[in-house]
Structure 1
Amino acid sequence: MAAQMIPVDTTMTIREDIPKYVRLPHQAMGYLEEKIRSAMWWPEVLRVQRSDGLVGTSLLKQIAMSAAIRADERKHEFCWRYKAEVSFDMRPWITNEYPPIPFLSQTDGDIPGRRHSQNPFPLSGSLAGEVRRPDVVIVENEGNRWPGRGAVDHDGMAQWPNLLRLVEVKFPGDTWGKGQEEDYVGIAGDNHHMTVLKVSGGE
């Protein structure tokens, strides 16, 4: 089923002045605004009937934005300041042991400097809330592929904390899921390392 492209209304606005969170770092707004404006050409959702008879829903604007960022990541061999949809293991944070841990790619074994996993389901049999995948992570040092604030990965290898900002983009019709906002603050560390962008218009 092909998605229909629709024109973007020039009245599209992006709000980041949400009092409980901080504004984006310098120059980040320009980069993310470009990706958001491109994503706004896509319809909000695509509904496809699966083989089991159920109807699946995809948020196409979100998918388009993430794909554009990931293209930049691949171009720079994942040494890039912006990282799309990093999956975090919330279990250490739920048990108050460690900050949430980013899942890393298994394609390179356990060597240092691995990129984050692009598998949307990195934890087999996970329960609701055990894996979270924020829209964008901005890192301090783009030469360091580690996208977390913790200092240890799943293999027990030491990492240098590198998370500068967690960014959640709320396209029209997108709302917080149960416990999602609180968990994202847990990934960021506090409200001062998290930005929420609310997109309106473009319809």
Structure 2
Amino acid sequence: MAISNSGKMCPAVTSINCTMEIGVFPADEDPCYLARKAEYALRLPAMIITKQGVIRFLNQIIMSGLIKVEELKHDFLWSYKAEVVFAIRGEQDVPLPMLATSQDSKQRYGDNLPQSSNPFARPSADDVEKFGVVGIRRPDIILVKDETLRWPGRNATYFDGS
């Protein structure tokens, strides 16, 4: 499926609301990247009704999925990350991303682990207490400053001390 308006102008998408937190869209990033993903998601069904009668909205799932495919293609060295789970600590502390924990990931990536692929990842009860975790957040999309790092968080010490 071709993306409309493939010229220099970004396609207009008026049905997506965005809340920017802790930052501004970087001037050197391509603002059309997310607009193209959103336009593609809007072309597909907006919702489905499950066998149980529950309505599921698909636009965000599709858009996140498109970004995750690109993350995988680039071995998690990508400037956009979708649906990363963060452990939120006190107001003064930096949120910690939940990272991959499998032995395969640890052997493959070493100290440069990617985020967990589990959308419901949580720290252990001991880590919740030790690090003062007060909640969990999963932003739709985050922008990464340094593509050479798979770490999707800011400068902080992780649960394992790294």
Rate the CA distance shift 1:11–1:105 in 2: closer, same or farther, 3 A: closer
Structure 2, unpaired ranges of 5+: 5-10, 126-133
Contact residue 85 and residue 136 of structure 1 kept, 8 A: yes
Q: 1:104 aligns with which of 93, 99, 106?
A: 99
Residue in 2 that maps onto 1:24: 25
Rate the CA distance shift 1:21–1:119 in 2: closer, same or farther, 3 A: closer
Contact residue 100 and residue 150 of structure 1 kept, 8 A: no
Residue in 2 that maps onto 1:34: 36
1:121 aligns with 2:120: yes
Superposed CA offset, 1:11-61 (max 9, x none) = 6337889899865223331111111110111233222134xxxx4443200
1:135 aligns with 2:108: no
Letter in 1 for 2:69: A
Superposed CA offset, 1:39-98 (max 9, x none) = 111233222134xxxx444320001101110111011100000011100012x23xx462
Larger helix percent: 2
2: CA distance, partners of 1:82 / 1:89: 19
Residue in 1 that maps onto 2:56: 58
Rate the CA distance shift 1:105–1:11 in 2: closer, same or farther, 3 A: closer
Identical residues among aligned pairs (%): 32
TM-score where L is the length of structure 1:
0.58
Letter in 2 for 1:13: T
Aligned residue for 1:109, secondary structure, equals: helix
Rate the CA distance shift 1:148–1:17 in 2: closer, same or farther, 3 A: closer
Larger strand percent: 1
Contact residue 98 and residue 123 of structure 2 kept, 8 A: no
**Larger relative CO (CA 8 A, sep 6+): 1 or 2?**
1
RMSD: 3.3
Contact residue 101 and residue 150 of structure 1 kept, 8 A: no
Residue in 1 that maps onto 2:69: 71
1: CA distance, partners of 2:144 / 2:19: 21
Superposed CA offset, 1:94-140 (max 9, x none) = xx4621110001122383000001101112899xx822110111111
1:156 aligns with 2:157: no
Contact residue 89 and residue 132 of structure 1 kept, 8 A: yes
2: CA distance, partners of 1:133 / 1:19: 14
Aligned residues: 140
1: CA distance, partners of 2:69 / 2:49: 25
